[in-house]
Amino acid sequence: MIRPDNPDHPQRVRPIDPQQRAQVLVATEAWIERAAELVALPLKPVPVLFDLGGATAGMFRARGEECWIRFNPWIFARHFEDSLQFTVPHEVAHYAVYCQRHRRRVRPHGPEWQRVMRGFGLPPEVTFKLDLDGVPVRRQRRHAYRCACREHAVTTVRHRRMCEGRARYLCRYCNAPLLPAA
């Protein structure tokens, strides 16, 4: 079976083209200007990257004084208008809250973020429910483990940590350690 995340899949989505990227950059700048008025702060333009993969449409990132916005070019290609209308302002709202709160940690979709989204005239919704058919989505492998009461499917990261002796995980139901299923 050929899956949508396989490059040979006939309906695989291609990432957005340079013209569409330019539209996203213009839209991002416009939303930043609007956010600056809303929070009454000067907001500098922020770098925009089109390097996000998987099932996430957008992401605001910050490290110290440096911050940037990442977008998924495949999801934008699949749902371009929806992404411009909702994903871009969603991430810009995170940037505005980050600057407004003087870089203090706040809940990502808390009242400050919701206030900015309502100021944009948009619903403060956290997740999108769009079809990802044809979008390359990486599926993480799971490893079989057991405890005293049931079987568990453990991610590769946790599996490696347990194999290397760096972590030990307990079942949340019976509190017994997870052991590899043989």
What's the pLDDT score for residue 19?
A: 97
52 domain-assigned: yes
Judgement on whether residues 84 and 33 belong to the same structural domain of the protein = yes
Across the beta sheet with 48-49, what order do the strands follow? Answer: 48-49, 66-71, 58-63
100 domain-assigned: yes
83 domain-assigned: yes
Of 62, 127, 123, 117, nearest in space to 95 by CA:
62
92 domain-assigned: yes
How far apart are the C-alpha atoms of 48 and 28, rounded to whole Å? 8
Q: Which of 104, 119, 134 is the last residue of a domain?
A: 119
Judgement on whether residues 63 and 149 belong to the same structural domain of the protein = no
pTM score of the predicted model: 0.72
Task: Tally the domains of the chain.
Answer: 2
Q: Domain residues for 86?
A: 18-119
pLDDT tens-digit series, residues 79-113: 999 999 999 999 999 999 999 876 677 888 999 99
**Average pLDDT, rounded, for the chain:** 89
Report the CATH number at residue 107: 3.30.2010
68 domain-assigned: yes
Q: Known catalytic residues?
A: 91
Please identify every stretch of the chain with a pLDDT value under 50, giving residue numbers as ranges.
Answer: 1-10
Judgement on whether residues 102 and 45 belong to the same structural domain of the protein = yes
Judgement on whether residues 108 and 174 belong to the same structural domain of the protein = no
Judgement on whether residues 62 and 149 belong to the same structural domain of the protein = no
